[in-house]
């Protein structure tokens, strides 16, 4: 019953062959096909095709289709939501078909259909469908202008029309995520109250921090595409790997990936990059869990670059193939707040559009306006060895010696070699949440220029470092 149903679905999906006037069967000029027989080296512990391997094949096929239309190299910009309806076993054949649905100015949408073929029963069934966006790249500085795509069949015309709406939704995706994140306090409060109403003995809760995974990969030439960039499919496969580990830590079983919520490549990666992959279970529902995963990259001493982010939904199947209930996740708001603050500061510090607002006594004040927020960055240069400066400034117990914002800082307990718990006593802080023309002149100097308080703190910090300087002097820049 299962296979007959799927064969019917595949028959409905495929358009009947269109015979042209010259007697030839029409085929989309951008269409590319790939067929792979599943070997044990492609499979996971269940003898099923690894989703990471499937993502690499899908990305390769779609890229070749995009490049056939563009006539030049193309890179993956994003992959829309993917829902995996069925798995593929060892010995079966996976068939991947990709074709360009519509070309815009320098980007194009490529439709991908994945089906499975059983060589012994001669049955076919659909596995998943995806839409990827590729951007054409030219060696020169001039921007690529893609030639328009003219749809021919009824299905091609339908996909051509819908592609514009899908593109609009992709462009809105960032704004939608911002709106969701702005409501995080409301959602958290509602979620916490719902958990409190449930019986504590119902199921054991798992700390979200216990599912956290961090892994590093070195981008080698074998991971590069024909443009010497890290292959987009390889990055997606690495992300799927760490997400699976995070899901396994929650359920202590082998999870099955069901849905991927949009891969969005935010920056390129090259051979030689160290790719940092992080994943954590965000939440669990009755029979499924969501895992957040991100990829960052760096070379040498440069700051981390955000490469990609995605959300993946996993299920754990019982012996009969049905999703089984999962334990509840217990979030740790303070831990999330700490990680999010550090991550946001790292991303902010790496921006290259800071504007120098003022400089006095080797103390520089930079400003940056972003998302209706004014960000301030202060730097001071002094002749202190960088390693010594780090040791002195990372010792919070001595911070009251130079920072007036720390009245007292007492070590409570060392956690490990790198982490310690301190009790910090700080003076009261006043915030302006509303302004009017009457008070604006009094705070304008603190917003637009270098205030005397900033200057005094950094002069005090400079004197503190010089008084405790050890070794040969080298220039050290201390940003805040």
Give pLDDT tens digits for 46-65.
899 999 999 999 999 999 99
> Residue 258 maps to which CATH number?
3.10.129.10
Residues 45 and 111 placed together within one structural domain of the fold = yes
Residues 256 and 381 placed together within one structural domain of the fold = no
Residues 341 and 429 placed together within one structural domain of the fold = no
Residues 254 and 285 placed together within one structural domain of the fold = yes
In this model, does residue 448 exceed pLDDT 50? no
Output the pLDDT for position 191: 43
The pair of three-digit structure tokens given for residue 379, joined into one six-digit string: 């730097």
Largest CA distance in the chain: 89
Output the pLDDT for position 440: 45
Residues 344 and 393 placed together within one structural domain of the fold = no
Residues 122 and 241 placed together within one structural domain of the fold = no
Does residue 418 belong to any structural domain of this protein?
yes
> Which of 177-186, 217-226, 324-333 ranks highest by mean pLDDT?
217-226
**Average pLDDT in the 24-45 region?**
90
Residues 6+ apart with CB under 8 A from 171: none
**Average pLDDT in the 227-247 region?**
93
* Strand 329-330 versus strand 206-207 pairing type: parallel
Residues 33 and 177 placed together within one structural domain of the fold = yes
Output the pLDDT for position 432: 47
Output the pLDDT for position 88: 94
The pair of three-digit structure tokens given for residue 139, joined into one six-digit string: 């060696």
Residues 266 and 364 placed together within one structural domain of the fold = no
pLDDT-based confidence at 20, cuts 50/70/90? low
Does residue 18 belong to any structural domain of this protein?
no
d(CA 27, CA 20): 10
Output the pLDDT for position 189: 40
Residues 6+ apart with CB under 8 A from 118: 3, 92, 93, 124
Residues 252 and 137 placed together within one structural domain of the fold = no
Residues 277 and 212 placed together within one structural domain of the fold = yes
| Domain final residue, candidates 316, 350, 384 | 350
Phi, psi of 139 (to 5 degrees): -65, -35
pLDDT-based confidence at 186, cuts 50/70/90? very low
Does residue 243 belong to any structural domain of this protein?
yes
**Average pLDDT in the 414-424 region?**
80
Residues 373 and 308 placed together within one structural domain of the fold = no
Does residue 196 belong to any structural domain of this protein?
no
pLDDT-based confidence at 204, cuts 50/70/90? confident
In this model, does residue 253 exceed pLDDT 80? yes
The parent domain of residue 378 ranges over 354-479
**Average pLDDT in the 383-402 region?**
85
| Domain final residue, candidates 350, 373, 408 | 350
Output the pLDDT for position 269: 92
Output the pLDDT for position 140: 64
In this model, does residue 410 exceed pLDDT 80? yes
**Average pLDDT in the 72-101 region?**
93
Does residue 194 belong to any structural domain of this protein?
no
| Domain final residue, candidates 350, 370, 396 | 350
In whole numbers, what is the pLDDT of the chain averaged over residues? 81
pLDDT in tens, 143-169: 788 999 989 888 889 999 998 888 888
Kindly tell me the burial class for residue 367, based on how many C-beta atoms sit within 10 Å of its own C-beta (0-12, 13-18, 19 or more): middle
d(CA 279, CA 311): 9
Does residue 198 belong to any structural domain of this protein?
no
Does residue 38 belong to any structural domain of this protein?
yes
pLDDT-based confidence at 330, cuts 50/70/90? confident
**Average pLDDT in the 177-201 region?**
49
Number of domains in the chain: 3
Residue whose tokens read 């798995």: 87
Question: Which of these, 309, 273, 271, 272, lies nearest to 290 by C-alpha position?
Answer: 309
pLDDT-based confidence at 404, cuts 50/70/90? confident
Residues 6+ apart with CB under 8 A from 137: 72, 73, 74, 75, 144, 227
In this model, does residue 202 exceed pLDDT 70? no
Residues 343 and 366 placed together within one structural domain of the fold = no
> Residue 402 maps to which CATH number?
3.30.530.20
Does residue 290 belong to any structural domain of this protein?
yes
């Amino acid at each position: 019953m299962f296979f007959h149903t799927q064969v019917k679905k595949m028959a409905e999906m495929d358009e009947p062959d269109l015979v042209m006037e010259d007697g030839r069967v029409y085929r989309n000029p951008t269409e590319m096909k790939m067929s792979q027989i599943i070997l044990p080296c492609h499979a996971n512990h269940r003898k099923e095709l690894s989703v990471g391997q499937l993502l690499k094949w899908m990305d390769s096929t779609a890229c070749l289709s995009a490049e056939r239309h563009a006539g030049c190299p193309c890179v993956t910009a994003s992959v829309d939501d993917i829902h995996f309806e069925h798995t593929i076993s060892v010995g079966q054949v996976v068939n991947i078909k990709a074709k360009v649905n519509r070309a815009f100015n320098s980007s194009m949408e490529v439709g991908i259909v994945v089906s499975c073929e059983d060589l012994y029963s001669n049955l076919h069934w659909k596995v998943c469908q995806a839409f990827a966006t590729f951007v054409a790249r030219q060696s020169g500085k001039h921007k690529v202008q893609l030639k328009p795509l003219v749809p021919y069949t009824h299905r091609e015309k339908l996909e051509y029309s819908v592609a514009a709406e899908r593109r609009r939704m992709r462009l809105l995706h960032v704004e939608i995520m911002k709106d969701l994140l702005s409501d995080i306090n409301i959602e958290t409060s509602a979620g916490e109250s719902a958990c409190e109403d449930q019986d504590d003995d119902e199921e054991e809760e798992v700390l979200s921090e216990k599912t956290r995974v961090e892994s590093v990969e070195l981008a080698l030439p074998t991971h590069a595409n024909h443009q010497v960039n890290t292959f987009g499919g390889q990055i997606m496969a690495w992300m799927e790997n760490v997400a699976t580990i995070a899901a396994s830590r929650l359920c202590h079983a082998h999870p099955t990936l069901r849905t991927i919520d949009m891969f969005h490549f935010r920056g390129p990666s090259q051979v030689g990059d160290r790719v940092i992959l992080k994943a954590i279970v965000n939440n669990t529902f009755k029979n499924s869990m969501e895992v957040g995963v991100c990829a960052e990259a760096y070379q040498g001493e440069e700051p981390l670059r955000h490469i990609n982010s995605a959300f993946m939904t996993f299920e754990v199947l019982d012996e009969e193939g049905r999703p089984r209930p999962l334990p509840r996740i217990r979030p740790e708001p303070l831990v999330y707040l700490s990680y999010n603050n550090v991550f946001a500061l790292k991303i902010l510090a790496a921006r290259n559009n800071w504007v120098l607002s003022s400089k006095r006594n080797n103390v520089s004040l930079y400003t940056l306006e972003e998302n209706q927020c004014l960000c301030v960055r202060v730097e001071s240069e002094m002749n202190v060895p960088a390693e010594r400066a780090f040791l002195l400034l990372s010792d919070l117990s001595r911070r009251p010696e130079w920072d007036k914002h720390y009245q007292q800082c007492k070590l409570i307990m060392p956690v490990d070699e790198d982490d310690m718990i301190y009790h910090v006593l700080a003076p009261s802080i006043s915030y302006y949440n509303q302004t009017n023309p009457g008070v604006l002149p009094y705070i304008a100097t603190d917003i637009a220029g270098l205030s005397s308080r900033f200057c005094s703190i950094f002069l005090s910090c400079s004197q503190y470092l010089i008084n405790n300087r050890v070794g040969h002097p080298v220039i050290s820049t201390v940003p805040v």
